[in-house]
Amino acid sequence: MEQIKFYLDEHVPRAVTEGLRRRGLNVLTVQEAKRSGLSDTAQLAFALAEQRVLITMDSDFLILASRGVAHSGIAYASPTRSVGALIRSVMLLYDVLTAAEMLNQVEFL
């Protein structure tokens, strides 16, 4: 079973990144990848090439997914979601789904 690797969008709080890493997840941020400011389409293409599920609070990614833009998976969280709730939701996703099951799927956290 291939475990999910994650790619965190620019607006996901740093505390989420740190919390997920403390729990042993493979996490890469847009900032660490030096991809800040690039288009949403470019971010999805990068995540697909890197086989990473995108964690985002930007609903524009939901529109791209609905238009059939290929992706490795999108995990969407409301911007009002607390850090703790977001970490728990990502951990649940990580525990129950594989990378293959996330391909071109959207999960709401």
- Per-chain mean pLDDT for the chain: 95
Structurally, the chain folds into a number of domains equal to: 1
Token code pair at residue 25: 């997840």
In a domain, 97, yes or no: yes
In a domain, 1, yes or no: no
pLDDT at 15: 96
Cross-strand partners of 74: 54, 106
Range of the domain at 88: 6-108
> Model-level pTM?
0.92
pLDDT at 14: 95
- The CA distance from 25 to 91, in Å, is 9
In a domain, 68, yes or no: yes
- The CA distance from 103 to 14, in Å, is 25
